[in-house]
Structure 1
Amino acid sequence: MLMGLALAGCAVGPNYRRPDAPAVDRFTPSALPASTVSADAVNGDAQRFLRGRDVPQRWWTAFGNQELDRRVHQALAHSPSIAAAQASLRQAQENARAAGGARLPAVDAGAGATREKLSAAQSGAGRVVGPYTLYNASVSVGYTLDLFGGVRRGIEAQEALSDVQRAQLDSTYLTLAGNVVTASLLEASLREQIRATEQIVKMQRDSLDIAEKQRKIGAKSLSDTLAVRAQLATTQATLPPLRARLAATRNRLATYLGVPPAQLEAAPLTLDAVRLPRDIPVSLPSKLVDQRPDIQAASAQLHAASAQVGVATAAMLPQITLSGSAGSQTLSAGDLFSAGTGAWSVGLNLTQPLFHGGELLHKKRAAQAGLDKARADWQQTVLVAFQNVADALQALQYDAQTLAAQATAEQAASQRLALTREQYRLGATGYLDLLDAERSLQQARINLIQARAARLSDTAALYTALGGGWRGDDSTMSPAATASSAAPAVAN
């Protein structure tokens, strides 16, 4: 017992230590500019990069749209993916609590009755004994001394797996919020593209009516009329794919919100009603490792793999088990616990594995290989996280440049169409020039809408790539706080 108590503080296997994050002070190959360029368009303001600032927890509110806020909150409250992640967390927490029971002795009570008859040979008295009934009642206690920390490492592994599920719940919240915002912005973009295309269709119909009238009076040829009709049909053909994408986007949005597509109730969202965040917080690379849920999940998985090495190592070492029991045995149920019926036992069992066909050795090697894999997975997760942030940061810079160019192109195309129409009215140009000007304006408007939506979507992508603030100082306000508050603490 003294030896066991002396060794109780020791645990075989490696003590967990999270690997160091990449030693870098920025995400992109070159330093970030102070801000992006601005554009002469809606949502064309320059965006400032605030290095070292924390990401706001409810980052989607930075877009300043109540309908968008409502959608995100509905998704977080009603999505089955959240419910599944919460249930997985509860399951992991209960498994960790169950593993913790191994710290204490196991106490069991038992009672029974056995009907027996002994032959002359069995009785030892040379005659048949019985039949008779033997009644018994007892309490037994068993306890395995955790000499080498195998039990503690097993508990540590289960608690680490609980941390994995907690981080995955945070990741589910973050991913779902990002998906709702992205789908909502795509929905608004498609609505704007459809509206712009319908305006072009209206203009081309008006042009076709004029061309038909002029052909009837001999002012225009049939080829000019056919060219206008062909252009109108081509433009109309772009509408069904846009409407199909809009329908599919709304169906996907309904899934995010936790309702069937037929029950989706979402007010139309327009790009003009969504504000572009001007001040963009950019966390330090060292902070990203602490706040990205997927990195936290990989860290906890690495912790569990580390503890499993200790479990496998302890299985190869001596096991000491203490046992004891006390009870009563009698031939009459009414005599249980009466004088002279008591029975007890105390035992100590030492087991040292000697030969298991290499089973224990290979299990230990497998656990070590699992630790190597978990470490490599952690490194890969960190690299992908840094890549996500770098992609989003660079996308925002190029999005601003694209929006500025598309805004200039749209203005030029609009002016060209107005000039070409006047020239056509005066007879100074033909239908083909007019159709080309209309086609250029149509494409310029579509491109401008897409550039605006891309800038908003990539801003949301940066917020999610930075971890969305779920691990910030105000984490008690996060939707995950309620589910994680009852989680057992992890023993390092």
Structure 2
Amino acid sequence: MSAVRFSPAPRTLALAAALLVSGCALGPTGEAPASPQPAHYAVDATPATLGPQEARQKFVLGQRAVPQWWRAYGSQELSAWVEEALRSNHSLAQADRNLAAARLQLRAQIDESLWPTIDAVGQAQRQRALGLPNLGPTTNLYNVFAGQIRASYTFDLFGVERFANSAAAAQVDAQSYQFDAARRSVAANVVITAINAASLHAQVMHTERLVALADADVEEMQRRLALGAVSQDELLSAQASAQSLRASLPAMKAQWQASRHALAVLMGRTPDAAPADLDISRLQLPGEVPLALPSELLRQRPDILAADAALKVAAAEQALATAEMFPSLSISASFGQSGFSWAKATSGAGAVWGLGASLTQPLFHGGALSARRDASKEAYLAAEANYRQTVLNAFQNVADSLVALTQDADALQASTAARAASEQGWRNAQRRAQLGAYPASAARAGERQYLNARLGEVRATASRMSDTATLFQAMGVGIETPPQQAAAKP
């Protein structure tokens, strides 16, 4: 029976030659799959304008916002805080240095793959070796001196190095987009945290006034109880209301101070160095909010760009796993001096050199190479699915922000109307109380109604301003590096 001959190398070489001739790719291109293009982001179309004339916002479809969007709030203090955070936030500094290190590592990898490696090797040894039986000493002692220049180079016949470099470059791109997302997140968090702190400050002040009014009601009830004008139950009810209001203050103050501490840390400060609160009534609501088209959003949001870079990484790694199944060719050369003594090693007789070439074709690796290629295919499909999901999440993020702003505008309009009506009623009651037509308790009741309405207006104002910042962030607009930070970099 004749033996069966196994010769995969010729078939592999033939396939490799065919691939080179035909220019067939060893993996997918890494192009992002087609994405949906919705007519509008949310279930219902977003109106062009929101809110009444005095607090109106306009959505400009297709317009790209300026990078420093926080300046639209009209506060120099807020703008300075954001720019300080972009310069001094330590998490951003860490991400920036990691990105710089990744770029240098990529440069090292590319340079190493493009050029041959050349090394100088020096060697000095004293050895004891066994001699041949009956032909001399049982052991030999001798010295070896050698100095060589060695060079080697591996030809990238099927793109192993090229695909590895492409994957590394795409990974650096993804890290760059993640750093951009971190910068925008810090800017948005500074704006939102500052607005929240200003809102809580105003709420604490109004609640403290409500507590003072409730205490005044209790004092009046005690006087009237002594006169028999009210019952004990009425006094107890007034006391319970005052204590309930007082009990709400500690948690509110804790939230207020926590917001201030968070703002300080975002700016790279210690919590005790938190800046003074903004006056929320002096912040401007951005009048125009650019709204990117869905097709433009794909090129603006860093999470989508990072997912696209991850897709390119997976494509390059699939091509790399395929290329590793083909032959690799390496050449090496060395030249130097060698001898058993320093004098002989440095003489003309001690010259040594060598040339070599190595052609390696994988034959059998227990199925590891095929498994790696199949795994890279699955990883590419996973990256493709991740890209599609990231796009949908981005659309949802924008849609939720738009709906929140729409509801905020309605809530603010209603709370502003309630505040205006209650304020007018309080002023009327105050004037009548001064004329003796109303008791002081009626004026306090009118002020309480006004303060409660004002609390609702403050919360609605803060929600609308914060959600506007969230929408700016959701648009994925890039942030320019402040001149101070650019100059500080080496």
TM-score category (smaller protein): 0.7 to 0.9
Q: Could you say which residue in structure 1 is the equivalent of 2:400?
A: 391
For 1:385 and 1:308, the matched residues in 2 are separated by: 27
Matched, 1:446 2:446: no
Matched, 1:251 2:261: yes
Which of 313, 317, 334 is the matching residue for 1:304?
Answer: 313
For 1:168 and 1:65, the matched residues in 2 are separated by: 28
> What is the CA distance between 1:219 and its match in structure 2?
3.4
The Cα offsets for residues 160-197 of structure 1, whole Å up to 9 and x where unpaired, read as 11111111111110001111111100001101111111
For 1:273 and 1:289, the matched residues in 2 are separated by: 35
- Kindly indicate whether the alpha-carbon contact (under 8 Å) linking 1:136 and 1:336 is maintained by their aligned counterparts in 2: yes
Q: Map 1:22-41 onto structure 2 (within 5 A).
A: 22-38=36-52
> What is the CA distance between 1:315 and its match in structure 2?
1.3
For 1:251 and 1:430, the matched residues in 2 are separated by: 40
Structure 1 residues 89 and 479: alpha-carbon distance in aligned structure 2, compared to 1, 3 A threshold:
farther
> What is the CA distance between 1:435 and its match in structure 2?
8.5
- Kindly indicate whether the alpha-carbon contact (under 8 Å) linking 1:282 and 1:466 is maintained by their aligned counterparts in 2: yes
- Kindly indicate whether the alpha-carbon contact (under 8 Å) linking 1:10 and 1:149 is maintained by their aligned counterparts in 2: no
> May I ask how many residue pairs the two structures share in their alignment?
471
Structure 1 residues 429 and 129: alpha-carbon distance in aligned structure 2, compared to 1, 3 A threshold:
closer
> What is the CA distance between 1:478 and its match in structure 2?
8.4
> What is the CA distance between 1:73 and its match in structure 2?
1.3
Structure 1 residues 338 and 97: alpha-carbon distance in aligned structure 2, compared to 1, 3 A threshold:
same
Matched, 1:323 2:337: no
Q: Map 1:158-173 onto structure 2 (within 5 A).
A: 158-173=168-183
Amino acid at match of 1:111: G
The Cα offsets for residues 1-38 of structure 1, whole Å up to 9 and x where unpaired, read as xx99x959886322221223322343233333220121
Q: Secondary structure at the match of 2:49?
A: coil
> What is the CA distance between 1:126 and its match in structure 2?
5.9
> What is the CA distance between 1:339 and its match in structure 2?
1.9
Structure 1 residues 334 and 126: alpha-carbon distance in aligned structure 2, compared to 1, 3 A threshold:
closer
Q: Could you say which residue in structure 2 is the equivalent of 1:147?
A: 157
- Kindly indicate whether the alpha-carbon contact (under 8 Å) linking 1:120 and 1:126 is maintained by their aligned counterparts in 2: yes
Q: Could you say which residue in structure 2 is the equivalent of 1:18?
A: 32
Amino acid at match of 1:387: Q
Amino acid at match of 2:58: R
For 1:352 and 1:269, the matched residues in 2 are separated by: 70
Which of 373, 379, 386 is the matching residue for 1:377?
Answer: 386
For 1:95 and 1:278, the matched residues in 2 are separated by: 45
- Kindly indicate whether the alpha-carbon contact (under 8 Å) linking 2:188 and 2:470 is maintained by their aligned counterparts in 1: yes
For 1:334 and 1:181, the matched residues in 2 are separated by: 76
Structure 1 residues 337 and 287: alpha-carbon distance in aligned structure 2, compared to 1, 3 A threshold:
farther
> What is the CA distance between 1:125 and its match in structure 2?
6.4
| Root mean square deviation of aligned Cα | 3.1
For 2:336 and 2:446, the matched residues in 1 are separated by: 101
Q: Map 1:118-197 onto structure 2 (within 5 A).
A: 118-121=129-132, 130-197=140-207
Which of 97, 108, 125 is the matching residue for 1:87?
Answer: 97
> What is the CA distance between 1:210 and its match in structure 2?
2.7
Q: Which has the higher contact order (CA 8 A, sep 6+)?
A: 1
Amino acid at match of 1:48: K
Amino acid at match of 2:107: R
Q: Secondary structure at the match of 2:364?
A: coil
For 2:37 and 2:423, the matched residues in 1 are separated by: 51
Amino acid at match of 1:239: L
Q: Secondary structure at the match of 1:148?
A: coil
Amino acid at match of 2:122: A
Q: Secondary structure at the match of 1:340?
A: helix
Q: Could you say which residue in structure 1 is the equivalent of 2:276?
A: 267
The Cα offsets for residues 340-396 of structure 1, whole Å up to 9 and x where unpaired, read as 222221111111111111111111111112111111111111111111111111221
Structure 1 residues 165 and 482: alpha-carbon distance in aligned structure 2, compared to 1, 3 A threshold:
farther
Q: Secondary structure at the match of 1:121?
A: coil
> What is the CA distance between 1:267 and its match in structure 2?
2.0
> What is the CA distance between 1:130 and its match in structure 2?
4.2
For 1:453 and 1:112, the matched residues in 2 are separated by: 74
For 1:412 and 1:250, the matched residues in 2 are separated by: 33
How does the TM-score come out when normalised to structure 2? 0.87
Q: Could you say which residue in structure 2 is the equivalent of 1:50?
A: 60
Structure 1 residues 117 and 196: alpha-carbon distance in aligned structure 2, compared to 1, 3 A threshold:
closer
> What is the CA distance between 1:335 and its match in structure 2?
3.7
> What is the CA distance between 1:429 and its match in structure 2?
10
- Kindly indicate whether the alpha-carbon contact (under 8 Å) linking 2:57 and 2:287 is maintained by their aligned counterparts in 1: yes
> What is the CA distance between 1:61 and its match in structure 2?
0.7
For 2:470 and 2:296, the matched residues in 1 are separated by: 18
Moved more, 246-255 or 418-427: 418-427
Q: Could you say which residue in structure 1 is the equivalent of 2:374?
A: 365
Amino acid at match of 1:299: D
Amino acid at match of 1:343: V
Amino acid at match of 1:336: A
For 2:276 and 2:70, the matched residues in 1 are separated by: 17
> What is the CA distance between 1:103 and its match in structure 2?
1.7
For 1:338 and 1:232, the matched residues in 2 are separated by: 104
Structure 1 residues 213 and 112: alpha-carbon distance in aligned structure 2, compared to 1, 3 A threshold:
same
For 1:132 and 1:104, the matched residues in 2 are separated by: 38
Q: Could you say which residue in structure 2 is the equivalent of 1:489?
A: none
- Kindly indicate whether the alpha-carbon contact (under 8 Å) linking 1:10 and 1:147 is maintained by their aligned counterparts in 2: no
Structure 1 residues 420 and 233: alpha-carbon distance in aligned structure 2, compared to 1, 3 A threshold:
farther
- Kindly indicate whether the alpha-carbon contact (under 8 Å) linking 1:424 and 1:434 is maintained by their aligned counterparts in 2: no
How does the TM-score come out when normalised to structure 1? 0.87
Amino acid at match of 1:317: F
- Kindly indicate whether the alpha-carbon contact (under 8 Å) linking 2:119 and 2:149 is maintained by their aligned counterparts in 1: yes
Amino acid at match of 2:223: K
